[in-house]
Amino acid sequence: MTIQFHDETFRDDYTFHNSPEGIRRFPFPFDADSYMYSVNLEPHAGGKAGSPFEKRFDVDEHYVAEMRDRAITLTEDPLRCQSLPHMELAGWDFLELVMVSKSEDYPELFTLNRDGDRWHWINRPLGIEQRFTFLDATTLPCGPMEYITRQTQGDHALLDQRDGNLWMDAGMVTSQADWSLDFDIGMNFFEWHAPVPKAHEMGVFQRALKFLLNLQQGAPVRRLNWTMTVNPRLDTSPENYHKWGPEKRTVAADNVGAKQYLRVELQTLWRLPRSNAIAFPIRCYLCSLEDIVTVPKWGRRLHRVLRDLPNELAEYKGFAVNRPTIVDYLAAFDDGAPTSPGIFPD
């Protein structure tokens, strides 16, 4: 399998697009016709061939363009990448995890040669070759977490574990669904989840934290989260709300299928060996409504989910203003037929 990397943009002229294969492998997040929060964690131990769940760190046709977009965001706002001083070891752990996983899972794209602490990394899609000394940050052009996350799709948080809690003490966050690393850095698990409606009362976070504190090395887990984004924009940050917020008002009946995207996060959680920290990659996938409805099951189901979603959730996810337009559009693709269980196309 050779991946054809797209030359595309996630801002300004928005030339991002999914290939037909890209649409088929989109991680559609709803396994039933309705949605409510749940901890919904499952082992991240492979998945259907070709799906985004198959490899430890999925590399797809958007890889090169996403990394270019990340570099632009970082130039404009360096605080999107922060690591508190005690998190450098976790950064090395994460660098190792990504380099080992990618070189094993995509040997045609990535190569890692190790001779003790002397490492040699080749990233062919991005044209990078680097020799460095593991655990010696002076031998890399930047800190280990920044180095590897400039080459890894998705946002990444590194969570320190202490005092029976998890602390967001490092991260690379440039493709986020309206949250800010600069605001959340140093917060604990309950603090950074404070804005989420309903879930606290349901005890979701207590259960999730307890589960994560016991997360074991070599047994990563995953879950899907979702929201809605107008235009294929990765950087929907609070810092840049003035750039993307007003775009919500550009959605109308005649363009909603093309402009409105379902934004899905494939979140994985990994116990890191030397630091005992947890790595939390949040990988963003975008798919326009007009592409989603090319899969009949998804068109039917997305209509039902968005039509019946509680108002607080539509508000929290930021698309309440366009919900009627979206639901009207999707209604045309819902003939009322039953849908099959699971998230994959029929």
Active site residues: 223
What single string gives the DSSP state of each residue in 288-338?
EHHHHTTSHHHHHHHHHHHHHS-HHHHHHTT-GGGHHHHHHHHHTT--S--
- Residue 69 lies near another protein (rule: CB under 8 A): no
Q: Maximum Cα–Cα distance for the chain, whole Å?
A: 61
For another protein, the closer of residues 22 and 91 by Cβ is 91
Residue with the two structure tokens 């986020």: 176
Closest contact distance (angstroms) between CB of 188 and another protein is 12
Does 275 engage in binding with another protein (CB under 8 A)?
yes
Least distance (Å) from another protein to the CB of residue 247? 41
Residues 74-93 that bind another protein (CB under 8 A): 84-87, 89
Q: Determine which residue in the list 18, 151, 161, 188 makes contact with another protein, applying CB under 8 A.
A: 161
Considering only 131, 210, 243, 249, the residue that binds another protein (CB under 8 A) is 210
Contacting range for another protein; rule: CB under 8 A; set: 146-154, 161-169, 188-196, 247-255: 161-169
Residue among 191, 274, 312, 315 that touches another protein (CB under 8 A): 274
CB of 280 to another protein, least distance (A): 18
Does position 114 bind another protein by CB under 8 A? no
**Binding of another protein by 213 (CB under 8 A):** yes
CA 55 vs CA 35, 105, 247, 280: distances in Å: 26, 7, 34, 16
What are the Cα distances from residue 248, in Å, to 89, 172, 288, 312?
Answer: 41, 26, 14, 18
If DSSP codes are grouped into helix, strand and coil, which group holds residue 56?
coil
Q: Which of 22, 32, 33, 12 is nearest to 60 (CA)?
A: 22
160 touches another protein (CB under 8 A)? yes
Among 218, 336, 338, 341, binds another protein (CB under 8 A): 218
Q: How far apart are CA 217 and CA 31, in angstroms?
A: 28
Cβ atoms 313, 196 nearer than 8 A: no
How many residues form the binding site for another protein (CB under 8 A)? 21
Question: According to the binding rule CB under 8 A, does residue 219 interact with another protein?
Answer: yes
The residue among 281, 333, 40, 295 whose CA lies nearest residue 175 is 281
State yes or no: residue 45 binds another protein (CB under 8 A): no
User: Taking CB under 8 A as the rule, does residue 123 contact another protein?
Assistant: no
C-alpha 203 chain-centroid distance: 24
CB of 85 to another protein, least distance (A): 8
Q: Which residues bind another protein (CB under 8 A)?
A: 84-87, 89, 135, 160-163, 210, 213-214, 216-219, 273-276
